[in-house]
Amino acid sequence: MTDRSESDDVEIRVQRTPNPNSMLFHVNRELTQKKTGETFANPESAAESPLASGIFGVPGVKSVFFLPRSITVTRDPAVAWEAMLGDVEDAIRAGFGH
């Protein structure tokens, strides 16, 4: 079994946005080198990104947007954030192998 230092852990800080259907997930990992970000409008557009694909695996996710150290997730308004937040965080950690 391999020991991991705490610095290896994926840290996630969740922040509300002005849009009640979007939530911002700040992470301590680089997501993209594109300064303008990367948009994934649907699961098909995320096929090349295991992280974005994993987030789309959470019921209710409508779109995913990466900036260098943050992810904006937009939900279907019919699905409550309370039902999704833990699963989105788990998908982010899984995308980094944690």
pLDDT in tens, 24-42: 999 999 988 888 899 999 9
| CATH code: domain of residue 20 | 3.30.1370.70
Mean pLDDT, the chain, integer: 90
Q: Which two tokens stand for residue 10?
A: 């994926």
Residue 3 has pLDDT above 90, yes or no: no
Let me know if 15 is exposed, middle or buried by CB neighbors in 10 A (0-12, 13-18, 19+): exposed
94 three-state secondary structure: helix
Judge whether 91 lies within some domain: yes
Judge whether 5 lies within some domain: no
Judge whether 1 lies within some domain: no
Judge whether 60 lies within some domain: yes
Judge whether 4 lies within some domain: no
| List of residues 6+ apart from 6 with CB closer than 8 A | none
> What is the domain extent for residue 79?
11-95
Judge whether 80 lies within some domain: yes
Residue 6 has pLDDT above 50, yes or no: no
Domain count, the chain: 1
